[in-house]
Structure 1
Amino acid sequence: MKVFISSLGVMGRRHFSGALLAAAEIIAFDPSDASIEKARETLHKPEFKDAKVEFVKSLPVGKEYDVAIFSETADYRKDNFLNFLETNKVKRVLLEKPIVRSEKDLAEIFSRCKELIASGVTVNVNFPRRSWPFYQALKNELKNEKFIEMTLNGGAVGLGCNGIHYLDTFSFLTSESAEPLKILFSQVTDVLVGSGRGERFKDYGGKFLVAKGSNSFFLTINPESTATPILTIKGNNKTLWIDENNYTYRKWTKEAGFEKPNYLYGQDYKITSEGSVEYRDLISLTKGWLQGEISLPTLAEAQESHLALFELLKSAKVQEPYLFT
């Protein structure tokens, strides 16, 4: 399996390690000597002494690959991706998220990928929660609920880089609904969320409310807090509480046959399970996806969460291009 990886930053090096574990032949692109050297350090591990790796500082021309992974920051992704497609051929593509930083760029990506997909190329987006057994089982549990009400209450997680994961989780859990996703409220804080990727990147905090038929999702992101993000998911018969730092959960289920008055809230609910949410780090996720053991959402499935992200920011009068990575 021949794998092309675009960018060897923090995310790219994790994809790189996953590709090594999948025993892929790797062509890794990054214009930075420092990033290449950091990736090269991984090859010092004994298990990778026979790895086939080529580092390049410019995009390839006229090559064919089984897989291409685009893990650069969002401000470079569109140009790298479209320039790569000008002369190279590929069978499977994985795009990091958020894919781009403006609606115009997103439209360009979707237009070009429509041609790709029609020719038989698979395009996926890295929204890993859809692949976690916990959320797959939860989706099945919630399919007969009359409504799903989600909340995310946390510190400086950032709407663009992290909040979009939860928008996609909401999209995934409510995918049976034929109703379009609507923006009900969007308010961005004056203080921006800092980024570990450098001063030129920022992200957004605030209060955001979206709805999809009878389902809703309210996000509270405080850029001046380090509070643990807590996710709650409630149906008409179940309630879940999930600690998004430690990946632990507790689930309450309404007892069958018991009907208490609403003002006696919670008395007909019992804790039915609690424990750990199985978490897949990016290295193992990349390895599993490359080997066909893990499914990630298609570009079409990832469209709703991206459009919601852009609509939330546009509703809050934030100017493009957005500042997230």
Structure 2
Amino acid sequence: IVLEKVVFQSNKEFDEAKEIFNKKNINVWVNCPRRMYDFYKGIKKYFQSKDELQLIVHGGNWGLGCNSIHFLDLWTYFTEDYDFKLELSGLDQFIIDSKREGFKEFTGTIFGYSSKNNKILLTSLNDIKIPTTIQIYGKEARISIMESKGKAWISLKENNWNQEEIEFNTPFQSQLSHLMAESILKNNNSDLISYDLSSKLHKPLIEILLKHLNNIENFTSDYCPIT
């Protein structure tokens, strides 16, 4: 089974679903597709140390609530480090309505860190239209990415940090779905993140967003209204 993000809106549901999947012996993945992009596969080789890696996402109104999971997934794709904490102190002190009726959205900054000194900084600015950039800093490479333009700027330590501009293709989901299905049907495997690992990303995100909702709007539900 391939599930779409946000998989569930409460941590309790993740645990309940895991019991069912294990009982029925069902393999499950979550569709955070950047792991399938040739570009990200290609640059992973520059981040082999798995520690002291920083991923910074900055832009205007890119959907911090509904899309942060994609960048947490990308961060851990490079670090393979799933033991981390998230901080909510940088979130704006107001909640906005999502474009989808009945759901909420967030702006401001989410900060994350792990014991291996891996860090993530996710910033979505309210009411500001600027393109989203992704920056990845490691011991051997520094890469700045603009997916909307299909361009990246790579600086490598081995090249004295001289910058090189490259172009890349960001595939549509329609260009990936058949590859995803073929891999699962033929090999019972996928480049996508497993359900168990994705749960480790979803749970702390849902936890801090629920806490922030409660702080701002006295929200007491166990379900976080993000989609």
State the TM-score, normalized to the length of structure 1. Answer: 0.60
1:252 aligns with 2:143: no
Stretches of structure 1 lacking an aligned partner (at least 5 in a row): 1-92, 257-267
Q: Equivalences for 1:1-325 in 2 at 5 Å?
A: 93-116=1-24, 119=25, 121-144=26-49, 146-175=51-80, 177=81, 180-196=83-99, 198-212=100-114, 213-255=116-158, 268-276=160-168, 278-292=169-183, 295-318=191-214, 319=219, 320-325=222-227
Asked whether the equivalents of residues 248 and 274 of structure 1 are also in contact (C-alpha less than 8 Å), the reply is yes
Q: 165-174 vs 99-108, which deviates more?
A: 99-108
User: In structure 1, what is the Cα distance between the partners aligned to 2:61 and 2:143?
Assistant: 22
Q: What is the aligned-residue identity percentage? A: 23
Shift of residue 192 of structure 1? 3.6
Distance 1:99 1:145 in 2: 26
Look up the match of 1:41: none
Q: 1:186 to 1:103 in 2, by over 3 A?
A: farther
* Structure-2 residue corresponding to 1:46: none
Q: Give the superposition deviation at 1:194.
A: 4.6
CA distance in 2, matches of 1:321, 1:187: 22
Instruction: Give 1:155 deviation, angstroms.
Output: 1.1
Deviation, structure 1 residue 171: 1.5
- Segments of structure 2 that go 5 or more residues without pairing to the other structure are 185-189
Q: Which secondary structure state, in structure 2, belongs to the residue aligned with residue 252 of structure 1? A: strand
One-letter amino acid matched to 1:289: M
| Partners of 1:317 and 1:206 in 2: CA distance | 14
Query: 2:187: which partner in 1?
Result: none
CA deviation vs aligned residue, 1:170-214 (integer Å, no higher than 9, x gap):
111110x4x721124444324445534x33222212211101221
Q: Is the 8 A contact 1:171 1:304 kept in 2?
A: no
Q: Per the alignment, in what secondary structure is the counterpart of residue 62 of structure 2?
A: coil
Instruction: Give the CA deviation at 1:242.
Output: 0.7
Secondary structure in 2 aligned to 1:283? helix
CA deviation vs aligned residue, 1:44-68 (integer Å, no higher than 9, x gap): xxxxxxxxxxxxxxxxxxxxxxxxx
Change (3 A) 1:199 1:273: same
Higher RCO (C-alpha under 8 Å, 6+ residues apart): 2
Q: Residues 304 and 167 of structure 1: is their aligned pair in 2 closer, same or farther, counting only changes over 3 Å?
A: same
**How many angstroms apart in 1 are the aligned matches of 2:175 and 2:109?**
33
Distance 1:161 1:182 in 2: 18
Amino acid at match of 2:39: F
Q: Kindly indicate whether the alpha-carbon contact (under 8 Å) linking 1:229 and 1:243 is maintained by their aligned counterparts in 2.
A: yes
Contact 2:90-2:111 at 8 Å conserved across structures: no
**SS of the counterpart of 2:203?**
helix
Give secondary structure in 2 for the equivalent of 1:122: coil
TM score, norm. by length of structure 2: 0.84
Q: Within 2, Cα distance between the matches of 1:115 and 1:125?
A: 19
Shift of 1:236: 2.0
Shift of 1:146: 4.9
Amino acid aligned to 1:105: E
Confirm or deny: 8 A CA contact 1:191 1:223 kept in the other structure. no
Contact 1:153 1:221 in 2 (8 A): yes
Give yes or no for contact 1:150–1:217 (8 Å, CA) kept in 2: yes
Q: Answer whether contact 1:252 1:273 (CA < 8 A) is retained.
A: no
